[in-house]
Structure 1
Amino acid sequence: MDAEALFRQQCTTALNEDGSANAERLMNLVVETYRLQAGKKRAAEDHSHLLSEENTTLKGSLVATKEDLAEQQRLFGIVLDNLPQGLSVFDTEQRLIVCNTRFRQVFGFSAEAASPGASLKTLISMIRGTERIEKKVSRLRAATEGGHIRHREWIMEDGRTIQSVITVLPDGSNISIHADVTEDRKAAERIAYLAHHDPLTGLPNRISLRERIDAALAACKPDEQIALVHLNLDRFKSINNTLGVSAGDKILRQVAERIRMSAGGNVLARLGSDEFAILQSGRQQPWNVTALADQIRRELSEPFFRGDKAVELSVSMGIAISPQDGIETDTLLKHAGVALSHAKSSGGKGERFFTAKMEAQIEARHTLEADLRKAIEREEFELHYQPLYDLGQQKICGFEALLRWNHPTRGRVPPMEFIPLAEEVGLVVDIGRWVLRRACRDAMDWPEDIKVAVNVSAIQFTNSDLPSDVAASLAEAGLPANRLEIEITESVLMENLDEALPVLHALKQSGIRIGMDDFGTGYSSLSYLRRFPFDKIKIDKSFVNGIVEDKEAFAIMRAIILLGDALGMRVTVEGVETAEQLAMLQREACDEIQGYHISPPRPAVDVPYLLAWPQAHPSARAS
């Protein structure tokens, strides 16, 4: 029985004893009262229990929050002290609130000196260095409107550079990042240096020269002139090929030092490879720049030594003077280059001043280049053939193919005018392929014992697959390889020795004969005979001119013929123009001759007539 039922029973018993008529109503009232009191008691008990639970939960939450804050503070400390940059926070009164270990390390502060509450002014006074920059960079935006960012840079006594980026908040407090940028600055300075200097010689480069010309022209007074000298070492590629690139670089550094001594206070720059430039400002031009050029030529004429080996150099120079040759940097550079081109084309070893006539010649050259490109497309070329005469057999043994250009409006263009241009602009590769194909086709119409000789440019060794071009030409014409003779000049080996030798060996292994043209005109001709087994050496006509009257010229000619015989190489002498020269060469047992005494170059249609002429003596051909 529950408490309520028990209470009802007790009340009923008591009322029955009293005999009251209102006992039932009273009982009900008392029951309701009990219910109310019991409910209140249970509610009170429940509320008390709830408060106890909430108190426990709150205490737990507070403990957990405290632990979280401790963990976050620990993690913040780890992050703060492991930042690669220094971090500092100062309040509105410029007193330190917090900083990390890197901040103290960067500026050399002790933990006591850089502790919370330290004055910014005091810390700055302790920095062992000087402030170089203090600059307002930008305004802050959005929630921090009114603040700004500053950059400060410190040059420390130990040589380090420290950069500070300070974020100043609107209330005057600030947060700063501090970084040691020493290595970054050194790298940036190195990059900037290399962008404006030549790494080999340390001289200003082309970019720097342009800037200095710009500045010189802008500052030039009405009575002053600016001279620009463009220098180029003559035949320097042969030094690299003969001695090696490393030795060539050492010589270039010596060249730069000699020119620097001659240039004095003038601007000297290296434009690349073996090219230099000097910028000279002042009065009394062209006398001053002429004296400068003379001094440079004398300095560079003295031998350079690589170990016990003496190397002799010469230099070509082109000179342009402002204002008469141009008042803009591009114009001055262009005109100095034009003058240099004329100095080089005149044989080098000297200087040329720019003239308006030179510019006209350059324009004509550009026109000629455009015409030459069209000539390749239109096949405006033809081959003429000059006989090679075998002195032992007393008969023509072959022909040298010589290129001719029949321009539709210019007429016959001299080979010495367009072939160097074709080499310079790279067109000689296409022209050379055409010559090979045409010469092989023409030779197929000749007797089987008659060979054809074709000259090959150094450019064809580097900018084309020469063995493939030769093989294709032979296959297309059906010409046997032993009837083709490739003639190269010493320049092929001087400029591209490492690339040329494998090509020459490949050609020789295929059965093609290889001859060295213009033998004796270069200083390394003899050394190349040791590097490659030529089938023939061809003596330049400059040695033939004086052999009748000049005993020394004759002695040289005889020595070369004996050398060729000793090495098992046929010797061809070109430029034979008189019967006296022919007779002397016959007595010396020369193998072949070539020259106007036999015949000038003739068109292909004349070859059958040349072969049909009397064979007994070449003098019959002179008519």
Structure 2
Amino acid sequence: MRIQSPNAVPTDVYLSFVSSLFGNRQTLFTGMVVHILTYAAVYAKTGDSFYVSLTAVFLAVCIFRIYWFQRFDAVSKAGLSHREIALWENRYLWGGVATTAILGIGSAYAIAFARDQFAILACVAVTLASMVSVVGRNYGSSRAVNLQTLTACLPIMIGFALVSDPFMVAFAGLLIPFLLTTRMMANGVREFLYNNVIASREKAELVDRFDMALNNMPHGLFMLDANNRILVVNRKACDLLKLGDQERLKDCDLDLVLRYGARHSFIDGSLPALIQRQLAQLVDGTLSRTLVQYSDDLFLEFSASRRPDGVVVLIFEDVTARIRAERRVLHMVRYDPLTGLPNREHFSELVQERLAALADRQLVGLLLIDVDEFKHVNDMKGHVAGDRLLCQIAHRLTAVAGSEAIVGHLMGDQFVVFVHGNGRVGVEGLIRRLHADMRGSFDVDGSQMRITFSAGALVTPRAQLRMEEWQIKVDLALFEAKYKARGTCAFFEQEMDARYVDHQRLKVELRDAVEAGSLHVLYQPMYRPDGHSIECCEALTRWVHPERGAIPPSSFIQLAEEMGIVSDITHFVIRQACLDCATWDAGMSVSVNLSVHDLRNDRIVAAVERALAESGLHPSRLHLEITESCLVEEPATVQNILNIFRNRGITIALDDFGTGFSSLSYLDALPVDIVKIDRSFVRNIGEDARRLKLLRGTVNLIRELGLGITIEGVETEDQLELINRYRCADLIQGYVFSAAVPPENIAILAEEQAVRSAQAAS
């Protein structure tokens, strides 16, 4: 690469050239001393005072150059501009050219005027020797080489020409190739230096880039030789493993370095054997990639590549965030996001792990818990409240189950618990205790909700438990518990399977019966206490199965509630009752029972309006009976629906009064017209004076509120006589007058009663 001019040279390269001019001062000052001594010797030999003057000038130039050399040392090179560097080059040139000019003038004077052989030899020899040093000292400046060779050689050539000796003139001409050769040598050295400086700079830039890339890469890196010693380590590796300064790790054994990091940072004791073995397998090529867990907060993934010369490049990265994300995903797959409990699949996995640690004869138990009426909570409180209730249930279940049990959330409102013990009595007792401890109040959005749980359980030896069968069995037990009574716990028995199949078949048949209109309605009359007239009739649903015969209402109504079709039955009964009542005497009314399911939404309002419109029955002849359970769950919603009915002129009756715990609190708050006192108040009133007093006290309270009274379940004349004696009822319903009869019999009974009343009057 040929250098055109200083302006074409990069500033840093130009600075290196100029700096070379101010270097090697010992040889420079030695040469200047030689110059002074030589001219002093020439003066001593020739006695010519001219050389004294040249010696004085030499001293002045020497002092000048020393001054600027010191100034150059003191100046900061980092901030020098190209122009400032050129100024320093000029300062050097002034001293250098002055020196060679003095040498050239001294030589020319010796040749042309002194005519002394020693003077000529000494001056020319020192001058030409200086020309040789020009190449070694001044290659950094082409101007310095050109000016110094020219100012040194040109006077000598002029001196030889002045002698008028053709040989001397010829010798002077030979100095021209010497001058050109010197210049070429200097240029060659300078170009060589320039190329090396450029190459060094590019190499330095490459090294800097490599170092920057190496130390800013997101991965840690070790380059190891065949003896497992560290050749290269980057900053990320030191940071991740807390190894300190990376420079002091070079040529250290990797195993020792990792042991040091483990001992002084995040791992107690020496590097665990598993981690050491994993890394050793990477280094020797057995593994190409492995995940190393240094602690709960640090996961590193290592990969290795081996070169033919035995050098191994070990790269690793912090994958803690990825592992945590994978664990979160795995947790989401294994655990219910709402309650935080294991889901069905993971619960089964946990149970299988626990079973593997138990003896074959050890008893294990599974408890399936279902929240009673949870759908009602969602419907009336909203799904957010339902979710909060499930979270509270999960928290309580985990607390009462204890650390030895495994608790899971199957779906919706179903939870499952796995326990184990040594005796059947102990395991069953534990399960019953868990079920009992779950009952109680739960605070949901500031409201206390009393929740009960139906549960099915299975107790079996560990060897007989089949994970693919356990849920079927506890489901059957849960079904048995719900069928018998909500809020109870039933243990699986083999005959439950047959009962379940029969129960499911009965559900299908009930749905078919409802859709086909195969149910029918009977009516039980409500008489005035003297028995002279029928004021109202209660509509009672009946289902006569073609094979099983009459199915008790308590059985098929519960089935309908489980199936969610009880409101369909209610709508059917209301329609049929209105149609039948429209055919009776205008003074007679009909009463229909509403369930808690009917009052959860306003569909019942539309059903009643349709029935009245279709039958043409006046609203005042329709009575709707509700029970206390309807009022307990959602009093505000129920009150709103009842007010709609009341405004239409429909009569509202509170059925089964006295069987609950807080009926009295609703008598004044809700739009109730009639209170139907439960048969339990009438039983044994002839033999038990306290029962009679309780009945009379209840009647007095109801009358004070201005409500009508109907007494149910009056079966004997004695009971009727006491009720009439103390004026306890406005209407009487019971076998003492009539059982439930078909609708066509109501008119017959009314006619017969009218005839008897007329005969009695006559």
Quote the Cα distance in structure 2 between the aligned partners of 1:597 and 1:325.
Answer: 61
8 A contact 1:388–1:400 mirrored in 2: yes
Q: How many residues align?
A: 541
**TM-score when normalising by structure 1:** 0.70
Give yes or no for contact 1:164–1:178 (8 Å, CA) kept in 2: yes
1:461–1:500 contact (8 Å) kept in structure 2? yes
Gaps of 5+ in 1: 1-58, 141-145
8 A contact 1:343–1:352 mirrored in 2:
yes
CA shift for structure 1 position 228: 3.6
Partners of 1:113 and 1:304 lie apart in 2 by 68
| Alignment equivalent of 2:536, drawn from 398, 407, 411 | 398
Q: What's the offset of the Cα at 1:384?
A: 0.9
Equivalent residues of 2:479, 2:500 under 8 A apart? no
Which residue pairs with 1:256 in the alignment? 397
2:664 aligned residue (513, 517, 526) = 526
Give 1:353 shift: 4.0
Task: Select the residue among 347, 355, 373 that pairs with 2:493.
Answer: 355
Match of 2:223 among 90, 99, 110: 90
State how 1:209-608 maps to structure 2 within 5 Å: 209-215=347-353, 223-230=361-368, 252=393, 256=397, 259-260=400-401, 265=404, 267=406, 278-281=417-420, 283-285=422-424, 287-292=425-430, 318-322=456-460, 327-347=465-485, 352-391=490-529, 395-462=533-600, 465-497=603-635, 499-529=637-667, 531-586=669-724, 587-608=726-747
Of residues 729, 743, 748, the one that matches 1:609 is 748
Check conservation: 1:322, 1:332, Cα contact below 8 A. Answer: no
| Cα offsets for 1:250-300 (capped at 9, x unmatched) | 985796377436xx8555656678866554545543x33344457568867
Pairwise CA distance, 1:402: 0.9
Residues 528 and 732, structure 2, Cα contact 8 Å, conserved in 1: yes
CA contact (8 A) 1:429 1:464 kept: no
User: TM-score under structure 2 normalisation?
Assistant: 0.58
Q: Rate the CA distance shift 1:361–1:174 in 2: closer, same or farther, 3 A.
A: same
Determine which of 119, 123, 126 is the counterpart of 2:261: 126
Conserved? CA contact 1:106–1:180, under 8 Å? no
Higher Rg = 2
TM-superposed CA distance for 1:363, in Å, is 1.5
Q: Which has the higher contact order (CA 8 A, sep 6+)?
A: 1
Paired position in structure 1 for 2:185 = none
Task: Look up the equivalent residue of 1:516 and give its one-letter code.
Answer: L
User: Is 1:107–2:241 an aligned residue pair?
Assistant: yes
* Residues in 2 aligned to 1:363 and 1:324: alpha-carbon distance in whole angstroms: 27
SS at 1:602 equivalent: coil
The answer as to 2:300 corresponding to 1:163 is yes
CA deviation digits over 1:149-193, x for unaligned, max 9? 42333434xx52232242435555336342262696388369628
Shift, 1:249, TM fit: 7.4
Tell me, in whole angstroms, the C-alpha distance in 2 between the residues paired with 1:79 and 1:399: 95
For the aligned residues, what is the CA RMSD? 5.0
Once structures 1 and 2 are overlaid, which stretch shifts more, 531-540 or 419-428? 531-540
Deviation of residue 123 (structure 1)?
4.7
Q: Is the 2:341–2:394 Cα contact (8 Å) retained in structure 1?
A: no
Q: Distance in 2 between matches of 1:105 and 1:469?
A: 75
State yes or no: 1:152 paired with 2:291. Answer: yes
In 1, the alpha carbon distance for the partners of 2:621 and 2:248 equals: 93
Greater strand percent: which structure?
1
Instruction: Give the whole-Å Cα distance in 2 for the aligned partners of 1:298 and 1:290.
Output: 12
Q: Is the 8 A contact 2:390 2:413 kept in 1?
A: no
What is the rounded CA distance, in whole Å, between the counterparts of 1:316 and 1:233 in structure 2? Answer: 7
- Identical residues among aligned pairs (%): 27
Contact 1:280 1:289 in 2 (8 A): yes
Write the letter of the residue equivalent to 2:495.
Answer: K
* Offset, 1:382: 0.8
Whether the aligned pair in 2 keeps the contact of 1:259 and 1:299 (CA below 8 Å) is yes
CA distance in 2, matches of 1:365, 1:602: 29
> How big is the shift at 1:129?
2.9
Match of 1:46 in 2: none
Residues 108 and 90 of structure 1: CA distance in aligned 2, closer, same or farther (over 3 Å): same
Do the aligned partners of residues 278 and 401 (structure 1) sit closer, same or farther apart at CA in structure 2, a change above 3 Å counting? Answer: same
Code of the residue aligned with 1:450 in structure 2: it is M
Cα 1:70–1:237 shift into 2, 3 Å: same
Looking at structure 2, the residues matched to 325 and 535 of structure 1 have their Cα atoms a distance apart, in angstroms, of 63
Which residue identity does 2:474 align to in structure 1?
A
